[in-house]
Structure 1
Amino acid sequence: MKLQKLLLSVAAAGLCMAAPNLTQAALITSWDYTVDAAWQNWTPGTVNQFIEGNEDVLEWGTENQGGLSQLRVTRQLDGTITTNDGVGSPGATITHRNFAIDPPELASTDLVVDVTFAPTGNGFVAPFTQTFFIDFDETPNSLPCPYPGANEVPCDDIFILRNPEDLSVSFQVDDYLYTATLVFDEAAFESAGGTIGFEDIDGDGIPELFFLTRENRASILPTNIVITAVQVPEPAALAVAGMGIIGLGLATRRRRRQA
């Protein structure tokens, strides 16, 4: 499945959350937003975590040549998003610095992201917290490379996002349903030798959203946050709000799916 189609389906499946009514029922055209991101629950515990500038960094391995491997993510950012502009505004950037190393190797980590949306010039705030479950494979640099379509020797490394359905979140204000979707900048990632795909690449029978990265490079993955809005007739709006309450309850009980 192409990534664009995946993101469209993700947007349709985002969590719905009822928001307090504002004084006006008009479409909200501009949103101020903040993003706070951090790595948590990495395995093995010997992976080193530290803060460098505005990045949260995971570093692992015993240096073989070139340096240690790293995952980096932007810690904090803010800005303004225009509704329905199709472009959005910058989200957090993830960088994988990929080097040939000896163990220990990163196996998995959670990326916890706190986001707030506030209509520009209005006191109402919609806060969300989302955890992205990431499995990582520091592949051996010898044939056969373990993943189809990957570059051969040195083999690409891979990280897999296990809950791509959580790339979108929806919330209702008056009779408009707003959906915020995290969109990956594929062109920038590919320019650094990276590849994004959505298929069953690990052979478990379930399609995965995966990211392949070249050896001896820093693969940079910028993201954008896009907000779209649709008007919801009042009876349907009430139903959506009810579904949102149910969905929120399920989300609080979500656990990492085993690979």
Structure 2
Amino acid sequence: MGSAHAGTMITEWKLTADAAFQDETGEPLADLINNGDYISWGLEGGNYSHLVIGDQSGYDGTTPAANANGHTEVNGIMTNGAFEDAATLTHVNNVIAYNTSLTSVTIQDTISLEAVSPAGFSLGPIVFPLFIEFQETPNTEGTCVDDSISVCDDIFVLVNPENLSFSFVEDGYLYTVTLDLGDTSFLDDDACALAGAESGCQGFLTEENTFTTLYTSVAITAEEVSEPAMLGLLGLGLVFAGLRRRKA
């Protein structure tokens, strides 16, 4: 839908994000260790499992903070172009006592956008929470989901997968920012049920005694909108009107 009054479309962006774990729950809660960009659970003197924001390819089994980093900068995001690599989320899945576990956590992501070409516009910070429920499965045959690759894969469920995009209007264009979480998918009903979620839930499984990493990516699309359509979108609350600023 075009408009004769639209301005110049922003064609290139830089995204900055700072993510941290918050509002964790577990059994027992006192055994959870939250360091912001990684969270650990297990038994003192035994194995720990970890959920880490950041690349864990060099993890040595004892220091999950080695490459943990909640700060991400993504340059060269082209409007209506390809998805660009963003943050990573890794589950270091060790066999631990079944009665000690993370059960849920929020990844609180704070995002800012800066126009690169043409420069002068910025948006944010925007708080972008992602709610996760987690099921630490017992490592015995007959108690696991059918799709388990290891003896008993653990289960992550995304509570609000619809929260992976947002839109805003600038100078006659509707921009939509979309985060892709990589290898997440609709889980089988037995996995959803075991995790306490409804059928059709979205998430991912993680193998025991190894790493599972989600490689996230981000894209920005734009379409020209007429002034009446823009006002309608704003009135319905479907896009941001505030939180943006233009540099002098």
Q: TM-score, normalised by structure 2?
A: 0.77
| Corresponding residue for residue 91 of structure 1 | 86
| Corresponding residue for residue 197 of structure 1 | 185
How far apart, in 1, do the equivalents of 2:124 and 2:181 lie?
Answer: 23
Structure 2 residue matching 1:93: 3-state secondary structure: strand
Q: Which runs of 5 or more structure 1 residues have no equivalent in the other structure?
A: 1-23, 187-195, 249-259
Is residue 2:105 matched to residue 1:109? yes
Is residue 2:231 matched to residue 1:238? yes
* Cα-to-partner distance string for 1:153-196 (whole Å, 9 max, x where unaligned): 2x00111110000011111112211111111333xxxxxxxxx3
| Corresponding residue for residue 71 of structure 1 | 51
How many residues are treated as equivalent by the alignment?
210
1:219 to 204, 212, 222: 212
| Corresponding residue for residue 201 of structure 2 | 208
| Corresponding residue for residue 156 of structure 1 | 153
How far apart, in 1, do the equivalents of 2:109 and 2:134 lie?
Answer: 19
Letter aligned with residue 30 of structure 1? E
| Corresponding residue for residue 31 of structure 1 | 13
Q: TM-score, normalised by structure 1?
A: 0.74
How far apart, in 1, do the equivalents of 2:127 and 2:114 lie?
Answer: 15
| Corresponding residue for residue 41 of structure 1 | 23
2:79/2:220 contact within 8 Å kept: yes
Cα offset, 1:205, TM superposition: 4.0
How far apart, in 2, do the equivalents of 1:48 and 1:205 lie?
Answer: 29
1:64/1:100 contact within 8 Å kept: no
Letter aligned with residue 99 of structure 1? N
RMSD of the alignment, in Å?
Answer: 2.4
| Corresponding residue for residue 181 of structure 2 | 184
Superposed, which structure 2 residues align to 1:51-66 within 5 Å?
A: 56-62=37-43
2:132 to 134, 144, 169: 134
1:41/1:110 contact within 8 Å kept: yes
Letter aligned with residue 61 of structure 1? G
2:120 to 113, 119, 122: 122
2:161/2:202 contact within 8 Å kept: yes
1:169/1:180 contact within 8 Å kept: yes
How far apart, in 2, do the equivalents of 1:214 and 1:39 lie?
Answer: 22
Cα offset, 1:246, TM superposition: 8.8
Mark the CA change 1:43 to 1:224 in structure 2 (over 3 Å): closer, same or farther. same
1:143/1:152 contact within 8 Å kept: no
How far apart, in 1, do the equivalents of 2:150 and 2:138 lie?
Answer: 11
Letter aligned with residue 159 of structure 1? F
Cα offset, 1:206, TM superposition: 3.7
Greater mean alpha carbon deviation, residues 143-152 or residues 212-221 = 143-152
How far apart, in 2, do the equivalents of 1:159 and 1:166 lie?
Answer: 16
Q: Which runs of 5 or more structure 2 residues have no equivalent in the other structure?
A: 1-5, 55-69, 242-248
* Cα-to-partner distance string for 1:37-87 (whole Å, 9 max, x where unaligned): 000011123201226xxxx1111012797x410000141011321111122
Cα offset, 1:234, TM superposition: 2.0
1:116/1:126 contact within 8 Å kept: yes
Over alpha carbons, which structure has the higher Rg?
Answer: 2
